[in-house]
Chain A
Amino acid sequence: MKRIFKLDTPGEKPGLLGKTTNIVLVGLFIAAIFLVALLSLGYKFDWTVIWTYRINILRGYGMTLVLAVISIFISVIIGLVSAAALQSKILFFRYLARAYVEGIRGTPFLVQIIFFYFIIATAIGLNSKFIVGVLILSIFTGAYITEIIRGGIQSIPETQWVTAKSLGFSSFQTYSYIVFPQVFRRILPALAGQMSSLVKDSSLLSVIAVAEFTKSIRQVEALTYRSFEVLTFLMLGYLLITIPISLLSKWLERKYYYES
């Protein structure tokens, strides 16, 4: 019995039986909390609403995925450019990048969305909510990716920069052939983690009525008043994306750990 529920040392690997038993127990424990809470409210479930509105919900889910995939690409590009700007010899670029990173990381995403949508997008006549959503999500995530990449760049030893210089590589070539390929390998786990955040953060775009997953669920909720069912479904929907990313990130971490 002891072997199933308790390890001898924190570093010990749990066996298969111990692992499965305890995971199932945790699942049951969480379910029990929800069940008790809902039963005490005397709530009657009606899961059919989800099936009824499946098309709307699926569209929203697809939109969230599309938003996330496009935004992660753009935000990595933004991160690369601004991380390079942070190391620039031209001080204007360097401080501009610093202002961007600190400005974005130091203010709430919700405020940024509203500011960008109602002030900047209106001023430049940008009407597509989808494009606004992608841009704002990319700009937001780009600031965090900048810092991840900056850390990666700084982990490249000085000798490599000097060697690249002595071999005649220009600084653009040094970044694209030598620095970034190595940095990417090192920061992949952190980048995967950031992607998971991006998926969750995209739910805030519902406040400017981008038709993504959260928005579509809120619509179904407004039509049916079936809050518990749809919100449960909403949570599961996000977990379905974020858990695989989290596993991927852990796997990459291990892989890198063995390589280095």
Chain B
Amino acid sequence: MNLDIRNLSMHYGEERALDGMNLRIENLNSVSVIGPSGGGKSTFLRLVAGLEKPSGGQVIVNGIPIDYEEKQLREYRNRIGLVFQSHNLFPHWTAIQNITIPMIKVFNFSKAEAYDKAFELLIKFGLKEHADKLPVQLSGGQQQRISIARAMARQPEILLLDEPTSALDPQLTKEVLDMLIALKEEGTNILMATHEMNFAKKAADHVVFIDEGRVSFEGSSNEFFNADKESRLGEFLAHVFE
């Protein structure tokens, strides 16, 4: 994926969630966005996902600037897969309905096509036996994996994940991360905000550290994990590994 962020700002009243952020990513497959809570990670992802209109600046995804007019945004969002921390699935639909209904209603798939495709995904990720369960009958990890399958059903240019494992215990975290690693290896473009340093280490090509509304470090995974202990980044790392 190519991502070009130019002077991106997002202000909520007095608060500057993003404050002139710049970032250029070219030909990268998996990028982890990390940083302290409230530093601007989620805002950044929401803007890349086309959920909100920035106060200023530009987001260019694979060469095309996002047009933040509602009508264009709706089309743009269809190019993106998005997974949040929790409650991604609609509780009144079964797992498979959560995947198929958006395909039918938004992408105009026929019912049969949608179900075929959804089953294919569920089988691939070992979720077939959960197809007809309601979200409340699934574990948090299964819910997140179904959400990721739903996001993949639209063959997104980028799969965006906003701390997809923060609400899970370690064992469930692992099953979600394993699925993401498998997707990465297949060539899916992943942009993920996370606190999972192990994932960043193992499966991210590139790490972006966002703090106080700007990118304060950006580089390969290797560079990142050998950061200077004295810098704010180093402090953050020491803190998360403590």
Contacts and interface: CB of A to CB of B under 8 A. Distances in A.
Given A157-B87, A160-B87, A166 B82 contact: yes
Interface stretch (B16-24, B88-96, B168-176): B88-96
B93 to A, nearest CB: 9
Given A163-B84, A177-B101, A169 B90 contact: no
Given A159-B84, A166-B77, A173 B105 contact: yes
B88 A168 contact: no
A58 interface: no
B74 interface: yes
A160 B90 contact: yes
Report the interface size class on chain A: 10 to 19
A5 B86 CA distance: 50
A164 B89 CA distance: 10
A181 B92 contact: yes
B51 interface: yes
A182 B88 contact: no
B77 A168 contact: yes
A157 to B, nearest CB: 6
A204 B105 CA distance: 45
Interface in B57-110: 74, 77-78, 80, 82, 84, 86-88, 90-92, 101-102, 105-107
Chain A binding surface SS class = helix
B193 interface: no
A162 interface: yes
Contact of A159 (B78, B88, B101, B102): B88
B203 interface: no
B106 A166 contact: no
Nearest to A173: B105
Among A164, A167, A170, which residue has the most Cβ atoms of chain B within 10 A?
A167
B87 A182 contact: no
B105 A178 contact: no
Nearest to A166: B82
Given A168-B74, A178-B92, 4 more contacts: A162-B51, A163-B90, A168-B102, A173-B106
25 contacts: A157-B87, A159-B87, A159-B88, A160-B90, A162-B51, A163-B87, A163-B90, A164-B90, A165-B77, A166-B49, A166-B82, A167-B82, A167-B102, A167-B106, A167-B150, A168-B102, A168-B106, A169-B105, A170-B74, A173-B105, A177-B101, A177-B105, A178-B92, A181-B92, A182-B91
